[in-house]
Chains A and B, each alone.
Chain A
Amino acid sequence: MLAVRGLAKSWPGGDALFAQVDLAVAAGELVAILGESGAGKSTLLNIVAGLDRADAGTVEVGDTRVSALDEDGLARWRRRHVGFVFQAFHLLPYLSVAENAGLPLLLNGVPAAERRERVQAALASVGLAGRGDRRPASLSGGEMQRVAVARAVVHRPALVLADEPTGNLDETNAAATLEALRAAVKREGAAGVLVTHSPVAAAAADRVLRLAGRRLAPA
């Protein structure tokens, strides 16, 4: 599903961050990328999402060559095919939990009735059935992150990207979030990439790679 070949990135005036990175993730597979802080994990993820440009290499998702799209093309592609989970949750405070979770459906023009149904299912799948009318501010951090997981998969994306999704959570909540993420990736048949500095979090994945010394290699 995700095919990354020969990716290289260096910041202007800096050493190369990584080079010759290859990565293939199958549909329904969750891959963890482990690395020290500053290793370049977030940068790699952003390049995959089309939020940053690589110096060399290609990114393909399904039949789409992501690295060939222009900015607006990338935005539309993300809208349709990518789900994100951030370290700091980033729920919109003025939307209800259900509205937050349904945001990708709204952006994709899914009719309201269908939206409601799919959001309910997504919230139920992360264990938050019945919390749809609450405001994010009234949730705990763990609950917020599970809403974010629901948001990341509600539109059945081809790719689910999670950047340190447990960085702000305690162990119990971290475990619940990772379980929700893993289940969602399996259920929706998405290619999942989880980057983290925590071996504990990485253990939730099907496969663990390590980004170190400018190379991405099996851990």
Chain B
Amino acid sequence: MSAALAATLLRGSLSGNRWRSLLAAACIALGVALAGAVHTLHASALDEIDQAARVLAGAADWQVEGPRNGFDDAAYAAVASLPAVAVASPVLELDAPLASGEGTVRVLGIDPFRAARLQPGFLAGEGARGGEGATVRLDAGAAWLTPAAAARLSARPGGTLRLRGPLGEVRLAVAGLLPALDTGGPLVVMDIAAAQLAFGRVGVIHRIDLRLAPSVPREAALRAIAARLPPGVTLRRPGDEALRTAGLTRAYRVNLTALALMALFTGGFLVFSTLALQAARRRREFALLRALGLTAGGVRAFLAMEGALLGVAGALAGTALGLAASRAMLERFGYDLGAGFFAGSGRVFAPDAAALALIGGLGVATAVAAALAVTRPLSRLDVAQALKDRQVDLPAAPGGWAAPLALAAAATAAAWLPPAGEIPVGGYLSIGLALAAAVLAVAPASRALLERVPARDRPLGTLALAQVRSLPGHLAAMVSGIVVSVALTAAMAIMVHSFRLSLDGWLAGVLEADLFARASPRGDAVVFTPAVQQGLAAVPGVARVDPIRFERLTPEGAAGPLTVIARPVTPALLRGFQAQPAEVPPRAGDAVNAWVSEAAVDLLGWKAGDEVTLPLAGRRARLHVAGTFRDYSRTWGAVLLDLADYRRITGDALANDIAVHLAPGVDAAAVAAAVGRVVAGVPGAELHDASFIHARALRIFDRTFAATYALEAAAILIALAGVTSSFAALAWSRRREFGVLRHLGLTRGEVIRLLALEGGAAGLLGAGLGLAAGAAVSVVLVHVVNRQSFHWGMAIHWPAAALSVLAAAVVALCALGASAAGRAAVAREAVHAVKDDA
């Protein structure tokens, strides 16, 4: 096909389809933008983590790392003295709240001499402004700031920085800046001994940065070092941080990306119905071109090109939109829209060109695939027939039950596939197959359903039914579009509703105490000392306090971290956590009872009855897995231990949270006030009652899913706009038929009502099939996708009211859109409509 011919044809199609083309491109753009934004946010976040890790590690080639709460600094002495180690630099690392209460800042305690041998940037040399000395001369009360920290804290050399620690306020003199560490993010650097003292961490370090001696073979060096490390403290490469974070956020990322791809899929459908309608409209034109000598391949190539054009327009607009949106979101919300996975500052904007190109390419491919789907029936077009034929329509939708049933069976089977990594490929495959099955079921299902509807003597109803029943090609495409968007919306609605109700019930059980105190609502620098715990227990009206201690560590041989929750375990607590079984078994030998979360079951393979070991406080603790429990707080594994066991093993008597049970019959407000006075003695600590925490958790849930709701609304609006415009095209193509009906004595109003009925019927059919497919997809989302990516078990709850509103809205909007289209179609004289015969 020549370029001139293509251009001529294109002009014809674009002029008649401006709005529909725009809508289709918009839908592609939406999917591309969403996927692009999600990817850019995460790429930027990982980039920042990576940059920071690299600049801080400097010349270190290995790092020794332990649990979140740190490890004994004796390990440092043991490692540093090895001949295999050229340089060893101990690091204390914690997030300290600002005394002003406005967030936290990361504090690094270092040994300046040793740190500087790996990263000279720790020595504020010539670049230092304001301070005349160097970190080497750090005294106990001095701190050096990276420029990012200075900007964030509005601190200047010579000024004072006020932070909170478990022992009260920590005042530091700002001695100078460390410009060479700027990519490290906002950091407060101080002497490690001073930091240990100020933040109550004497004898504790979090990390040792190492440079190996070149003379010793690496394998031997690593083996020698590992031998000196206590359990739970391991060697790793400095670059692993970003990789590990990527692992933690993968589920979140994959799910958002899947959502984006679904938007893209809907977009593909709109492209399909746009091109299908326009091919139908121009069927005679194509037939004429064929008669004039254009090959079937030429017509196909033209339509594919048109699809590609729509796809490219959508992909370009979507990529630009995605970049702009991710940039704006970075500035406003940080890397994860406030979901709490990344602590980064949002300063790095690192779009990944290759990935964006891939996503854009996917958008174009979707559009081209949709276009090629259109050309299939067109290539079967009988030129002579089409030239003669007055009816402008695609061949009727094909369809027996064989293909949809086979796809449905494949979808069911795919749901049982194991996840790849933590990515529920089987689940997504199953969803895709289920949607395809629903689309292919449109024709046979509509026939089966509508055949049973008795034809009454009402003329309009009978005519509408006959039209929908015969399901001409473009009506089928339109119904398919409705099916897909309703299915996706319904599935998300069911999933979110199930999740919310499950979370609600879980929170009600988990929050079984009256009041909850938290030492460090942000960061981890502040903890409750035994004195505070006893002080709370002694408040009159308090029946019992349950100190809660968190630790995060990596079990030997595990890929990811594990959270340890230590608190007094009672049958009521186990019931609240939906533990199975929910009773405390008698102790088996010297093994300690432990309950593991569903994620630990999935990720570590632990199950009730197992004997496992956990590196606690530098020792291997033997645990007996007494049961499993549900943990909607984290996507990685967790282990619940009785506090008494934990303290016996670790000697750690501190607490991060305290659950306070009031005595029956006391004046709750007065006791809460008295408890509040004790908690207020710990700077920065928070006290809330159970109902507040419950409500806050649900609020956060709703905020996290707000983006999902907005997307769903956008998807369904675009789909409905597509339906309306499709109906307009359909009405246009049927104006001759309407002319005949007016000759036969139908009034204009009746023709409009006829179309409204057809629109309503198509909407009903689409909504019905969509709801059925959506229910199936939601089951896969809840039991396969969620379980495999977040490791949360939950029950399905049906949001009957929301689904009814959805279905009613779809039917009503289809009817409205169709009648609006009908109004336009009968505006012309009936006489003209039947007159085109020469």
Contact = CB atoms under 8 A, between A and B. Distances in A.
> Which 7 pairs show the lowest CB-CB distances between chains A and B?
A79-B745, A94-B470, A88-B837, A78-B745, A75-B747, A90-B740, A87-B837
B745 A82 contact: yes
15 contacts: A42-B831, A52-B829, A77-B745, A78-B743, A80-B745, A82-B745, A87-B837, A90-B736, A90-B740, A93-B391, A93-B393, A93-B472, A106-B459, A106-B463, A137-B391
Nearest to B736: A90
A192 B391 CA distance: 28
Interface string B738-749: 011011111111
B748 A107 contact: no
B745 A51 contact: no
Contacts of B457: 106, 109-112
Given A49-B743, A75-B742, A109-B457, 10 more contacts: A75-B747, A78-B743, A90-B736, A92-B463, A92-B737, A93-B391, A106-B463, A107-B746, A112-B455, A137-B389
B47 to A, nearest CB: 58
Interface in A36-81: 42, 46, 49, 51-52, 71-72, 75-80
A71 B743 CA distance: 12
A168 interface: yes
Contacts of B472: 93-94
Contact of B469 (A87, A89, A94, A111): A94
B834 interface: yes
A84 B741 CA distance: 11
A137 B386 CA distance: 11
Contacts of A189: none
Contacts of A46: 831
B746 A51 contact: no
A29 interface: no
Contact of A168 (B749, B834, B837): B837
Given A51-B829, A87-B837, A94-B470, A72 B744 contact: no
Contacts of A109: 457, 459
A76 B745 contact: yes
B140 to A, nearest CB: 89
Contacts of A79: 744-746
Interface in A87-125: 87-90, 92-95, 99, 103-104, 106-107, 109-112
B529 interface: no
Interface in A160-196: 164, 167-168
A196 to B, nearest CB: 13
A99 B829 CA distance: 25
A111 B828 CA distance: 32
Contacts of A168: 837
Contacts of B834: 86, 88, 90
B470 A84 contact: no
Interface of B: 389-391, 393, 455, 457, 459, 462-463, 466-467, 469-470, 472, 736-737, 739-740, 742-750, 829-831, 834-837
B698 to A, nearest CB: 51
Contacts of B745: 75-80, 82, 104, 107
Contacts of B739: 90
Contacts of B836: 88
A154 to B, nearest CB: 11
B287 to A, nearest CB: 15
Nearest to A45: B831
B743 A51 contact: yes
Contacts of B830: 51
Max count, chain A CB within 10 A of own CB: residue among B457, B469, B736: B457
Nearest to A77: B745
Contacts, number: 90
B524 to A, nearest CB: 70
A52 B831 contact: yes
A82 B745 CA distance: 8
Contacts of B467: 94
B474 to A, nearest CB: 12
Contacts of A76: 745, 747
A92 B835 contact: no
B747 A72 contact: yes
A93 B463 CA distance: 12
A201 B830 CA distance: 26
A7 B34 CA distance: 66
Contacts of A137: 389, 391
Contacts of A90: 390, 736-737, 739-740, 834
Contact of B744 (A78, A94, A99, A112): A78
A38 to B, nearest CB: 12
Contacts of B737: 90, 92
B744 A95 contact: no
A71 B747 contact: yes
Contacts of A104: 744-745
Nearest to B747: A75
A122 B259 CA distance: 58
Nearest to A161: B743
A198 to B, nearest CB: 15
Contact of A88 (B390, B455, B462, B747): B390
A78 to B, nearest CB: 4
Contacts of B835: 42
Contacts of A49: 743
Contacts of B837: 86-88, 164, 167-168
Contact of A51 (B455, B747, B831): B831
Contacts of B736: 90
A48 B302 CA distance: 47
Nearest to B750: A75
Nearest to A110: B457
Nearest to A89: B390
A46 B463 CA distance: 25
B831 A94 contact: no
Contacts of B742: 51, 75
B744 A84 contact: yes
A124 B725 CA distance: 42
Which of A72, A78, A89, A106 gathers most chain B CB within 10 Å? A106
Contacts of A111: 457
A52 B745 CA distance: 14
Nearest to B469: A94
A117 to B, nearest CB: 14
Contacts of A86: 740, 743, 834, 837
B469 A92 contact: no
Nearest to B746: A75
Nearest to B465: A94
A107 B736 CA distance: 18
Nearest to A46: B831
Contacts of A51: 742-743, 829-831
B459 A92 contact: no
B751 to A, nearest CB: 10
Contacts of A80: 745
A75 B749 CA distance: 11
A151 B741 CA distance: 12
A86 B742 CA distance: 13
Interface in A133-173: 137, 151, 164, 167-168
B486 to A, nearest CB: 24
Contacts of A99: 466
A103 B744 contact: yes
Nearest to B454: A112
A151 B740 CA distance: 12
Nearest to A115: B457
Nearest to A112: B457
Given A42-B835, A52-B831, A94-B466, A72 B749 contact: yes
A160 to B, nearest CB: 12
Contacts of A72: 747, 749
A111 B456 CA distance: 9
B679 to A, nearest CB: 74
A137 to B, nearest CB: 8
A107 B744 contact: yes
B826 to A, nearest CB: 11
A106 B466 CA distance: 13
